[in-house]
A and B are shown apart, each in its own frame.
Chain A
Amino acid sequence: MEAGFAFLLVVGIPLLGAPLIYLIGRLVERRQPGLNPARWVALLALLAAFYPLGIALQTVLNQGMPVSFSLGVIRLQMDGVGALLAALALVLGALVTLFSGPYLSREDHQEKYYALLVAMIGGMIGLGCTTDLFNLWVWFELMAIASYPLVAFHRHAPAALEAGVKYLVQSAVGSAFVLIGIALVFGQTGTLTLASIRANAPLTPVMLAAGALFLIGFGVKAALVPLHTWLPDAHSQAPSGISAMLSGVVIEAGLIALLRALGAVFAVSDLWGVFLLGFAALNMLLGNLMALRQTQVKRMLAFSSLSHMGYIVLGIGCAFAFGAPNAAAGGFFHILTHGLMKGLAFLAAGALLYALYIANGQHQPLMVDDLDGAATRYPLAAFTLSVALLGLGGIPPLAGFMSKWQIFVGGFETRQTWAMALVIFAALNSVLSLGYYAPLINRMYRHQPSKRMESGQPVSGWMNVVLLILTLGVVGLGFYPTLASWLTQPAAQSLLAALGG
């Protein structure tokens, strides 16, 4: 198969698959209720996209050439950044689809869940591969619109509706800001192609304002503190599979959209990197401090996503401010490992939530106290959750340590006082984060099982399979971090090339 055609399939299969999944699910549901084929069609569609993705990756990563195709005037091009995002979105998406089957088995309208999930994945793949500022917005909206109903999927719960409303309003304001920024850029340069904007960006205050609007608009989706207030609600109220997707890929996709847009107006100001580093510091500090005082497991994990976004932005901000290639590669590596670790953490917490509450017909948040003695009753879920938490806290043989280490080394290589101070700050934050990860593990392994734990239902086999696969990924990337540099080095090179480095 030719690489350009394979790339077309990678983008096309999820987009065409989404309505098909809904139709099949709906029609079969009408004839034979309870069969729920939507899940299997969704899984099939995502798995079918892996083969062309492999072919496209081969060209992009091994030969170092971007793959592209054009539909009319719209041109999509997969470079290192797009390849990383597409691979992460598809892998995590397929695992979440497999996990969600038993998790949602008691819910109505499952076909909508799977159709929207696949559409969201398609939007993210397109977002990573666009070459045009306006198309960037369109893909971004596709991803966002698909995720609004998913957050409010438990639509009989007031809390889920509240989270959905908050998420929708904040994201919609952000995307209006982005649109105004696009109008400013278009009015100044007369072009929307990212490369030609970069080439003829005039150094005017209007372009500066456009960059600031991008920073605010995409920053809402990337959950840069103080634009993060939707995140803890949305991530804790969504179904666990969606929490994993939102935390693992969607906020990172928002960050990549921000990098693309800021890259186009990079020459206008040398302050973008400083802004990003400032956001990084705020994210790390506020995420950790807020996570320390949470009593709900998923809400704590959501706040920890904020601090991990801080580490990622620290690595990439060093690339923006000082052109540090290793820090950028570290940032992309952390996108990858955080996707796996946070996906695993949310899914393992989801498995426990399912066993303790959902399988008993209750819809309540999983509290920290509920984890008492989980290891005796659910050894696998407790073990995988512990691996994910230790990885997130940066304990050495696991993936999270390797990616944080690469960011720290990359930050020190810049030889800038402020960057080094920030790296030390990040390392201290990493230690602080163990203050809320470690007690969870302590509870699971060293406390007596609670009453609720003893009345829990068994965890389904498919869930355990998914947890095991992700655990293997987290441990494997920890022992062999070079496996990922195949993906992260080209991504860093593409980013720096986009900045004119």
Chain B
Amino acid sequence: MNLSVPNIVILIVIGLLGVGAYALLTVRNLIKVVVALQIMVKAAMLALVLAGRLQGQENLGQSLALTVIVADTIVAVVGLALAVEVRRVVGSLDLKALTTLRR
């Protein structure tokens, strides 16, 4: 695999996805979980921009990424708002404190 720009970006996308997924599986702090989600979506965003570039439609690819930023920020805001409530009600941000519901 030669190190052209698209290949480097593809490697970064896969790397970001890996970091995000690994963090989701290992991290127990709710704020860090939201961060891990954000890292995964950032990988997808980069992939969209790259796809636009490969197809010669840079404008479309970047405007898609911009839309994703908006939607994704709202998800992060809702996630953090939930984290604030969890801290207030449960008294901890640890996910282990949130295991009252059984299967």
Cross-interface CB contact of A176 among B37, B81, B82, B90, cutoff 8 Å: B37
Check if A186 sits within 8 Å of B55, measured CB to CB.
yes
Nearest CB to that of B99 among chain A residues?
A: A162
Chain A contacts of B98 at CB under 8 A? Answer: 158, 161-162, 165
- Measured CA separation A232–B75 after assembly (Å): 22
Task: Decide yes or no: A176 and B85 within 8 Å by CB, A148-B78, A162-B99, A165-B30 being known contacts.
Answer: no
Check if A180 sits within 8 Å of B43, measured CB to CB.
yes
Cross-interface CB contact of A173 among B37, B56, B64, B74, cutoff 8 Å: B37
Check if B41 sits within 8 Å of A184, measured CB to CB.
no
Check if B48 sits within 8 Å of A165, measured CB to CB.
no
Check if A164 sits within 8 Å of B100, measured CB to CB.
no
- Measured CA separation A161–B94 after assembly (Å): 13
Check if B82 sits within 8 Å of A161, measured CB to CB.
yes
Check if B71 sits within 8 Å of A138, measured CB to CB.
yes
Check if A164 sits within 8 Å of B101, measured CB to CB.
no
Task: Decide yes or no: A162 and B48 within 8 Å by CB, A149-B78, A168-B75 being known contacts.
Answer: no
- Nearest Cβ distance between residue B87 and chain A, in whole angstroms? 10
Chain A contacts of B67 at CB under 8 A? Answer: 134, 138
- Measured CA separation A176–B37 after assembly (Å): 8
Chain B contacts of A141 at CB under 8 A? Answer: 71, 75
- Measured CA separation A149–B82 after assembly (Å): 8
Check if B101 sits within 8 Å of A159, measured CB to CB.
yes
Check if B85 sits within 8 Å of A152, measured CB to CB.
yes
Cross-interface CB contact of A169 among B24, B43, B45, B55, cutoff 8 Å: B24
- Measured CA separation A165–B92 after assembly (Å): 14
Chain A contacts of B101 at CB under 8 A? Answer: 159, 162-163, 232-233, 237
Most buried by B among A138, A175, A187: A187
Check if A179 sits within 8 Å of B68, measured CB to CB.
yes
Within 8 A of A (CB), among B1-58: 13, 17, 20, 24, 30, 33, 37, 40-41, 43-45, 47-48, 50-52, 54-57
Within 8 A of B (CB), among A206-261: 232-233, 237
Check if B41 sits within 8 Å of A176, measured CB to CB.
yes
- Nearest Cβ distance between residue B4 and chain A, in whole angstroms? 15
* A145 adjacent to chain B (CB < 8 Å): yes
Check if B55 sits within 8 Å of A190, measured CB to CB.
yes
Nearest CB to that of B17 among chain A residues?
A: A180
* A44 adjacent to chain B (CB < 8 Å): no
Check if B89 sits within 8 Å of A156, measured CB to CB.
yes
* A498 adjacent to chain B (CB < 8 Å): no
Q: 4 closest pairs, A vs B, by CB?
A: A187-B51, A183-B47, A179-B44, A190-B55
In addition to A149-B81, A190-B57, 4 A-B residue pairs with Cβ atoms within 8 Å of each other are A176-B43, A182-B48, A192-B60, A237-B101
Query: What would be 27 A-B contacts, judged by CB atoms less than 8 Å apart?
Result: A145-B74, A145-B75, A152-B82, A155-B89, A156-B89, A158-B90, A159-B100, A159-B101, A161-B89, A162-B99, A162-B100, A165-B83, A168-B82, A172-B75, A176-B37, A176-B44, A179-B41, A180-B13, A180-B17, A180-B47, A183-B47, A186-B55, A186-B61, A186-B64, A190-B55, A190-B57, A192-B60
